Amino acid sequence: MDIGTIELSVEALIGSLLALSILFAFCRSLLSEDFVSTFKTRHSWKSIKVLEQACFCNVCEILLTPSAGLFCDCCGLCTHATPPCQRRADREYRCKDKWLRNESSVRHLWVHGNLPMGVHCADCNEEVDHHVSTDPGLYGWRCAWCQRCYHNDCYTRADSMEACDLGEFKDMIFPPYSFVAARTRDSMRLHLASITPPDIENWEPLIVIANTKSGSSTGANVLSLLRGYLHPLQVMELGSRGPQDALQWAAKASPRPCRILVAGGDGTIGWVLNTIYTLNIKPQPSVAIMPLGTGNDLSRVLGWGAEPPSVLDPVKILRSIRRARSVNLDRFDLQIEKLHYRLPIQRHPTKTIHVYNYFSVGVDAYITYNFHKTRESRFYLLSSRIFNKLLYFTFGTQQVMQPGCEHIEEKLTLYLDNKPVQLPELQALVFLNIDSWGAGCNVCELSNANGEVRIVNSISDGMMEVFGIVSSFHIAQLQCNISKPVRIGQAKQIRLQVKETVPMQADGEPWMQSPADIRLSSRSQARVLKLAAT
């Protein structure tokens, strides 16, 4: 190789290194503080129909129509859905910082106008929104973090640039400076590396998990409204992977305890409680409920109601969670060992299902099984509580006319605390941990009306109450409080031998069970939030 060729090779190498250095500098600039800050503060636009109030565009200050208006569910900024206003809003107006590096506080983020109804000025304590009738358009100021509101004149006297203390719900909020993000996937999701508890008294942050497939659009509305009052990233939709991503926040916040609001039905709540148990999160988070399912039995027992409120008020929701007390809820292990009754008898590995509410065998499980098959069908297009209840009524009526679980006692052998139990003629056996079954039927309370030994139901005594159901018509009578269940007994250790295939359900999740040896006992407890009546 001659000298000229060597010089050309050196020049090519230098040129390559120079190109790489330029590329490196460009990539570094993309990751600069300005770019990351812009990336972290992107708006999250939703329809203003969620707000159920008149709103004005923050860009052009014109009244928004419900069909043409958007609001950022993180900071509350409003805009037209048309490109001129929306693009300008994205370009000129900041949203909440999703995370802050090398900071120990967060500054107020002031948004002009569109204040919630009935708020009072933090300076003069007079109601703010009464001025809107005399001065239409954007009026007043609100901090997107602490929710403090001011009249226009009062705002000019306030120290709007001071550090924000996060307001009334600061003990529920993950401040954007309290965690380290290892990797950013998109504007509403972070891969957490660690969480440093902030210096906030009684800090017990709230994680919100909503199943948007439950309760029509209510789950999505819960997410949108609570993002504005909390850190947007601590309010999450339940995805196909389950609640693992959301519960990483609780795991990383250890040793500080967390609270969790689950917006969904009994199945969603059980999924979250099971995941907490699987991840072995310590201390255990306490779970509150926003009932969005069809039955909502656990929600009824814990005081959260049978259905979501007609008007979703985020302030009332958060205050209710704060005043609720944490209690234990028994977690029963349902261990199923399949059997083949031929010589020699073949046994299969044991399957374990966690039960929190109830477990049943027979006609009620069969009705639930038919309902779930219909819901999983591609022809199932309507998702509403009323339509779901209509389906339950249809399948229940079918079981009255064409019973499919007669003489189920002949297919079962029951042992309570190792003692065999002679079963009467039944169509279902129900094992209760809580006194709410079949969408609000208080079976223990109805049984106490018999004048027999009174049953005091507890969700944390490790005991199951056992009742019998004689028909699907009997179920309807119980739900109307005009009949009584067949009392079988109560026990801490339950064994059920299944001789033929029968329908079963655990916390509303049904299946067809082939011959098996089933054992049911409480081995651990979950933590839930119980709301006392006001």
Q: Say yes or no: 415 and 516 in one domain.
A: yes
192 dihedral zone (left: phi>0; alpha: psi -120 to 50; beta):
beta
Same domain, 358 and 502: yes
CA–CA distance, 399 with 150 (Å, rounded to integer): 61
- pLDDT-based confidence at 24, cuts 50/70/90? very low
The answer to whether residue 124 scores a pLDDT higher than 70 is yes
Tell me what the mean pLDDT of segment 90-111 comes to.
91
Instruction: Residue 178: give the domain boundaries.
Output: 172-323
Tens digit of pLDDT for each residue in 448-460? 766 666 677 899 9
Q: Is the pLDDT of residue 403 over 60?
A: no
Confidence class of residue 134 from pLDDT cuts 50, 70 and 90? low
Query: Confidence class of residue 375 from pLDDT cuts 50, 70 and 90?
Result: low
Q: Do 130 and 182 fall within a single domain?
A: no
Q: Residue 145 and residue 111: Cα distance in Å, rounded?
A: 10
| pLDDT, greater one: 443 or 147 | 147
Q: What is the CATH number of the domain that holds 97?
A: 3.30.60.20
Final residue of a domain: which of 166, 189, 216? 166
Helix (H) or strand (E) holding 181: strand 179-186
d(CA 350, CA 335): 6
Indicate whether 300 pLDDT > 80. yes
- CATH code at position 214: 3.40.50.10330
Structural domain contains residue 88: yes
Same domain, 459 and 517: yes
Judge whether 429 lies within some domain: yes
How many domains would you assign to the chain? Answer: 3
Query: Do 209 and 348 reside in the same domain of the chain?
Result: no
Nearest residue to 138 via CA among 114, 116, 105: 114
Same domain, 462 and 439: yes
State the pTM of this model. 0.85
Q: Return the SS3 of 183.
A: strand
265 and 381 in a single domain? The answer is no
In a shared domain, residues 158 and 191: no
pLDDT of 229 reads 97
The answer as to whether 270 is a domain residue is yes
Q: What integer best gives the mean pLDDT of the chain?
A: 83
Q: Count of alpha carbons within 13 Å of 326, Cβ hemisphere only?
A: 15
The confidence score (pLDDT) of residue 352 equals 93
Per DSSP, the three-state class of 257 is coil
265 and 191 within one domain: yes
* Whether the predicted pLDDT of 228 surpasses 70: yes
The answer on pLDDT for 286 being more than 80 is yes
| Nearby residues of 178 by Cβ (< 8 Å), 6 or more positions away | 195, 196, 197, 198
Residue 118's alpha-carbon distances to 75, 97, 230, in angstroms, are 19, 27, 20
Q: What values do phi and psi take at 189, rounded to 5?
A: -150, 130
